[in-house]
Amino acid sequence: MPRESDPLRRLNWGCGEHTRPGWINSDIKEGAGVDLVGDIRRGLPLPSESIDYAVSIHALPELAFAELVPALEELLRVLKPQGVLRLALPDLDKAVRAYLAEDEEYFHHVREDAGSPGGRLVTQILWYGYSRSLFTADFVTELMQQAGFVEIQACAPRETHSRFAEIVELDNREEESFYIEARRPARRSKWLLGRYNRRPSMTVSIDVTEVDVTASTGGDLLAGHLDGPIVGAHFEGDALRIVGWAVGSRSPAREVEVVSEHDVVGRAPVNVSRPGVAEMHAGVAGAETAGFDMTLSAGGRGASELLVSVVFEDGSRSALGVIRVNVTRQGVLSRLFR
């Protein structure tokens, strides 16, 4: 729980013209009252774990199917552990029921633009072509689960299951919408930044099973690479060193962030001298010091996936690669009886 003296940071994502004082009003376009301009598909210019709760009213439908889970993952990223996301979405079930019941009043918003019952249904649910995805409560529950949210619950208008009573302030379009909330889990990662004092009765080893750098170019990332670890590497001990470099196309790289199980487990500044990169990308801002170097400690066991992303000076971000490892831990008895 935040202390009473700590101001809540609350995000109104996809606000459009519906901005509200006291919120971080974010939209893809500039406009009156918009505090933060950013395309969620490129990453919101917000620090990880910086938002207490986020609300979005009818913005998610403007994304294509393949963009839905990544957008929800981005909202999860900016939420603090135990933070809450509240969505209001056009209810496909309601619209179909109204269509089958020949309820013309339900479609009064589009009555002047569509004469047939089917035309009114399609015009409203696609909202004149702005909506690219349609939603039911069970479908968005599935998407939120895939993104890593927990405690997903439907809500009535102006009702919340969260500890944030003011989260309902933005509710509108109640007659055509359903409302759903979900929570970001508490931090539970298997990984820690730096070293910690492990139990002497345990031995730890790390095997690197895959390093995927196929997403290392394009968009805000001009070029980059994960130099280490390499596939097949085996480490005795709990330390995993991650080394590489990144150069931005629009803005210099500021830091590298590592996420595991939806939690940020490590950050490192991009400030290590890389003469070879500077020569290869002469004249590009930040190329001279494009390197990074960090060490993570394994705090658990089993398979893990580490997503490495680059954060740029302008707040945008790009994926650099994925490292998959397997951590083995053995106690003193298992060592004696091998």
Strands 24-27, 36-37: pairing kind? parallel
Provide Rg for the chain, Cα atoms: 23
Residue-wise pLDDT for 13-59, tens only, equals 999 999 999 999 999 999 999 999 999 998 899 998 999 999 999 99
Q: Are 154 and 116 in contact (CB under 8 A)?
A: no
CA gap 130, 64 in Å, rounded? 11
The three-state secondary structure class of 50 is coil
CA gap 311, 269 in Å, rounded? 9
| pLDDT score recorded for residue 196 | 41
| pLDDT score recorded for residue 109 | 87
Identify the structural domains of the chain with CATH numbers, from first to last: 10-91+135-183 (3.40.50.150), 191-336 (2.60.40.10)
**pLDDT lower than 70: segments of the chain:** 1-6, 187-202, 214-218, 330-338
